[in-house]
């Protein structure tokens, strides 16, 4: 969120005054003694027009009067009367003065400027900056030096109406670039009615970002009571800033939060976030917080960096004091204020994940070193939660073996250290090379392969009375993949396309893995159990791809995949379950998987259908349907249906509808079809006339029931106030 400052107008005044100095300092033409009316003077940098132009040799003054126009490099200054004192390096103008620079303008009644000393005076100045729609006035603007100003009786607004919906008045503002600005008697007014007063303020002006307070936010929740949110933004320097977020909850207490952001260089940046609250609700309702202490906190940190040697470093740390923290404060790791429409599923997480990774890539090789820490959001503590600290993987990409162009090899090697305070832990080394031989028979590609796999363990704290020490497993896999692509190009003149490509990509594969003894191995993850395999997998992928000639170069093209449809199924020749495709020992056919994805060019329409069908139960194991649509006007709708057999059946809907150019309505719903129960509804409106906006939303949570609302008032060009649960 942009910070609000009652004296932000000073920065824009400073920018406009710099514009004033350019044409004036350039207006030093070499003019002969030329009295008379209707005279024009032109040189390479400046042009002066006036009804009467006279040069006084004795005083070295240029006098221009009547429809004076001075032009220089796209800027134009109009005045009733102007005098240029070449000896004093001074320019003076009177009357209805108008300075235009492209789309911006400065109007005043008097202007005096010394282009050598960079000092000057403007009286009754009115400034318009189109980029931010700023209207600024100053009764008297004094330029005291190259980067120092005084402004008396200043106002600022972004409203076009003659009676502004809001404006800021200040009796006096003193600005010194590279130092500080001081404002006296600043008043924020709505329809000329004062609503906020700042007697005196000091602010730094050496950066575009401004240190200052955000206006407070307000809200209410059945659970939290009255909510008041505030924020203070500190622009430390160009590459560091700090935001402090004090928040008051009448039923909980005061929650202190902060976020520090930094940029080391173009290749390195990050942020650190933390919050703390001594929560009265934990003491008042201990039955609702069996795993929480009164002192509750959160900590998060992100860092991204690319070293000169090409190594990429990533860190993402997320920690909370207890399992209910994210449910009570769902915006903890998503920003200073939650966007409800983007967080309707924030309560479904079972683990909070933290990781740190370093990766390095070469032409044929890749190395990753990663540490993962999981915090359970279900259990009281993480003594039994398995942590991966660290995992180091080395991959050799597919490449010719011994220089042959018909035989290739690849390899995946992995070292993992599994750790937890209670339960089985250990080290694991997994070496997994593969040799493959791609063969081409016309449109058919046949790829036989052979894999070897060796896995070693050093284990401690064994389960089921097993002894600590080393274990190992050696196995192999062999198979063959048959692939082909049939395609046809159709000419078309539709939605900007000139060609449409349709493909059919069938696939048939056989894989064999022998039965090996794995009874003494641990159960850390999927690598620890490799089931016996003798199965065949068939599949088909079909695509529709459009070709779009570029408007600036018809000989170049963009491509877009409109449609992708895929189906596959596996069949096992043995009675062995793998826990993934074959769930029972006597099930030879896997679920039938199908997926359809449709995306319009430009992203306005998206649809995805997915299905997993169980041929033994003659029932769907999984069905999902997602549809979303948006347009340039701002209409948006997203509908999602998800069915998992014996688990849940949910419907989620999100929509936004602009009723007029100044009013939008929006809402979202999560509905459990299985038990006919609404989990959560959010609905609200956004009223946004020309220079301000009011956003109001209501959030009804049902498990347990909690009603909360959010209110956000924003002023165009200045930021806003926001509140809510």
For strands 439-441 and 469-484, give the pairing: unpaired
pLDDT of residue 146: 63
Residue 494 has pLDDT above 80, yes or no: yes
pLDDT of residue 45: 58
pLDDT of residue 46: 65
pLDDT tens string 129-138: 776 677 878 8
pLDDT of residue 291: 82
257 CB neighbour count, 10 Å cutoff = 22
For strands 61-72 and 295-306, give the pairing: unpaired
Rounded mean pLDDT of 154-164?
83
Kindly list the structural domains of the chain, giving each domain's residue range(s) and its CATH number in brackets, ordered by start: 9-180 (2.60.450.10), 404-478 (no CATH)
Strand, coil or helix: 465: coil
pLDDT tens string 616-633: 989 999 999 999 999 988
Percent of the chain scored above 90 by pLDDT?
44
Confidence of residue 79 (pLDDT cuts 50, 70, 90): very high
Q: Two tokens at 375?
A: 């915090």
Residue 515 has pLDDT above 80, yes or no: yes
Q: What distance in Å separates the CA atoms of residue 43 and residue 50, rounded to the nearest whole number?
A: 15
Least confident of 96-105, 330-339, 450-459, 570-579: 330-339
pLDDT of residue 4: 32
Least confident of 262-266, 482-486, 534-538: 262-266
In whole numbers, what is the pLDDT of the chain averaged over residues? Answer: 83
* Rounded-to-5 percentages of helix, strand, coil across the chain: 5, 65, 30
CB within 8 A of 156, min separation 6: which ones?
Answer: 8, 9, 12, 134, 135, 136, 167, 168
Residue 721 has pLDDT above 60, yes or no: no
Least confident of 208-217, 327-336, 611-620: 208-217
Confidence of residue 147 (pLDDT cuts 50, 70, 90): low
Residue 465 has pLDDT above 80, yes or no: no
Q: Two tokens at 174?
A: 């003193």
pLDDT of residue 209: 58
pLDDT of residue 692: 85
pLDDT tens string 232-262: 888 888 889 999 989 999 999 999 999 999 9
Return the H-helix or E-strand segment holding 404. Answer: none
DSSP state of 333: T
Q: What distance in Å separates the CA atoms of residue 282 and residue 261, rounded to the nearest whole number?
A: 31
CB within 8 A of 45, min separation 6: which ones?
Answer: 26, 72, 73
Confidence of residue 676 (pLDDT cuts 50, 70, 90): confident
pLDDT of residue 19: 34
336 against 545, higher pLDDT: 545
The candidate with the shortest Cα–Cα distance to 512, out of 432, 454, 448, is 448
pLDDT tens string 287-304: 888 888 899 999 999 999
Rounded mean pLDDT of 642-669?
93
pLDDT of residue 179: 55
Rounded mean pLDDT of 534-541?
96
HSE (side-chain half, CA atoms, 13 Å) at 304: 4
Phi and psi angles of residue 694, each rounded to the nearest 5 degrees, phi first: -125, 120
Residue 704 has pLDDT above 90, yes or no: no
The candidate with the shortest Cα–Cα distance to 279, out of 264, 296, 263, 298, is 296
CB within 8 A of 646, min separation 6: which ones?
Answer: none
Q: What distance in Å separates the CA atoms of residue 9 and residue 5, rounded to the nearest whole number?
A: 9
What does the H/E/C string look like for 520-561? CCCCCCHHHCCCCEEEEEEEEEEEEEEEEECCCCCCCEEEEE
Alpha-carbon Rg for the chain, nearest whole angstrom, is: 35
CB within 8 A of 313, min separation 6: which ones?
Answer: 303, 304, 305, 306, 307, 356, 357, 358
Phi and psi angles of residue 637, each rounded to the nearest 5 degrees, phi first: -145, 140
Least confident of 65-74, 169-178, 254-263, 573-582: 169-178
Rounded mean pLDDT of 340-350?
46
pLDDT tens string 6-30: 233 333 333 333 333 333 322 333 3
Strand, coil or helix: 329: coil
pLDDT of residue 663: 94
**Beta bridge pairs of residue 107:** 98, 126
For strands 533-549 and 497-513, give the pairing: antiparallel
HSE (side-chain half, CA atoms, 13 Å) at 667: 9
Rounded mean pLDDT of 143-170?
81
How is 167-199 classified by DSSP, letter by letter?
Answer: EEEEEEEEEETTSEEEEEEEEEEETTEEEEEEE
195-202 contacts at long range (C-beta below 8 A, 24 or more positions apart): 196/6, 198/6, 201/6, 201/7
DSSP state of 635: -
């Amino acid at each position: 969120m942009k910070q609000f400052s009652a004296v932000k107008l000073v920065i824009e005044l400073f920018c406009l005054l710099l514009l004033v100095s350019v044409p004036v300092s350039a207006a030093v033409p070499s003019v002969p003694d030329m009295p008379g009316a209707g005279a024009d003077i032109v040189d390479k940098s400046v042009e002066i027009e006036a009804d009467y132009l006279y040069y006084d040799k004795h005083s070295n003054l240029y006098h221009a009067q009547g429809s004076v126009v001075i032009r220089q490099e796209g800027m134009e200054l109009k005045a009733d009367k102007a005098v240029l004192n070449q000896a004093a390096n001074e320019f003076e103008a009177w009357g209805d003065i108008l300075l235009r620079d492209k789309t911006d303008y400065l109007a005043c009644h008097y202007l005096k400027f010394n282009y050598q000393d960079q000092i000057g005076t403007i009286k009754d100045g009115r400034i318009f900056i189109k980029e931010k729609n700023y209207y600024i006035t100053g009764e008297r603007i004094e330029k005291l030096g190259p980067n120092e100003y005084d402004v008396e009786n200043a106002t600022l607004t972004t409203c076009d109406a003659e009676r502004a919906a809001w404006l800021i008045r200040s009796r006096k503002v003193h600005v010194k670039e590279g130092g500080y600005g001081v404002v006296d008697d600043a008043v924020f007014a709505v329809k000329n009615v004062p609503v906020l007063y700042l007697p005196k303020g000091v602010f730094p002006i050496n950066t575009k970002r401004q240190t200052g307070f955000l206006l407070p936010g307000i809200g209410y929740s059945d659970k939290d009571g009255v909510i008041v949110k505030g924020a203070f933004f500190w622009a430390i320097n160009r590459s560091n800033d700090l935001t402090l977020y004090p928040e008051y909850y009448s039923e909980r207490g005061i929650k202190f939060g902060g976020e520090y952001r930094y940029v080391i260089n173009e290749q390195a940046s990050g942020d650190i976030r933390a919050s703390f609250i001594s929560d009265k609700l934990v003491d008042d309702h201990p039955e609702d917080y069996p795993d929480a202490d009164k002192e509750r906190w959160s900590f998060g940190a992100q860092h991204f960096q690319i070293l000169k040697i090409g190594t990429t470093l990533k860190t993402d740390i997320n920690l909370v004091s207890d399992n209910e923290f994210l449910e009570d404060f769902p915006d903890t790791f998503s920003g200073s204020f939650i966007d409800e429409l983007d967080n309707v599923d924030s309560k479904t997480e079972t683990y909070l994940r933290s990781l740190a990774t370093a990766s390095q890539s070469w032409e044929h090789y890749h190395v990753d070193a990663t540490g993962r820490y999981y915090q359970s959001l279900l259990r009281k503590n993480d003594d039994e939660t398995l942590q991966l600290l660290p995992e180091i993987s080395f991959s050799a990409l597919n490449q010719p073996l011994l220089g042959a162009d018909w035989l290739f090899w690849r390899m995946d090697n992995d070292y993992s250290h599994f750790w937890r305070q209670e339960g089985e832990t250990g080290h694991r080394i997994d070496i997994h090379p593969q040799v493959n031989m791609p063969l081409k028979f016309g449109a058919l590609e046949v790829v036989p392969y052979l894999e070897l796999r060796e896995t070693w363990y050093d284990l401690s704290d064994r389960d089921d009375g097993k002894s600590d020490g080393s274990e190992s497993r050696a196995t192999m896999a062999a198979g063959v993949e048959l692939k082909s692509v049939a395609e046809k190009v159709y000419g078309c003149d539709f939605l900007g396309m000139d060609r449409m490509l349709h493909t059919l990509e069938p696939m048939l594969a056989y894989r064999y893995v022998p039965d090996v003894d794995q009874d003494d191995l641990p159960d850390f993850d999927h690598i620890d159990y490799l089931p016996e395999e003798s199965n065949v997998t068939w599949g088909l992928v079909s695509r529709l791809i459009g070709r779009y000639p570029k408007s600036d170069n018809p000989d170049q093209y963009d491509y877009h995949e409109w449609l992708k449809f895929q189906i596959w199924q596996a069949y096992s020749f043995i009675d062995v379950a793998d826990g993934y495709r074959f769930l029972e020992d006597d099930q030879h056919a896997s679920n039938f998987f199908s997926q359809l994805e449709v995306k319009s060019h430009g992203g306005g329409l998206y649809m995805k259908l997915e299905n997993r069908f169980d041929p033994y139960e003659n029932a769907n194991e999984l069905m999902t349907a997602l549809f979303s649509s948006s347009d340039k006007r701002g209409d948006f709708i997203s509908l999602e249906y998800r069915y998992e057999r014996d688990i849940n059946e949910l419907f989620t809907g999100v929509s936004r509808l602009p009723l007029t150019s100044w009013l939008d309505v929006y809402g979202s719903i999560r509905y459990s079809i299985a038990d006919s129960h609404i989990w959560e509804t959010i609905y609200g409106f956004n009223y946004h006339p020309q220079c301000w906006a009011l956003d109001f939303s209501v959030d009804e949570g049902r498990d347990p029931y909690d009603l909360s609302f959010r209110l956000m008032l924003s002023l165009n060009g200045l930021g806003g106030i926001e509140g809510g649960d």
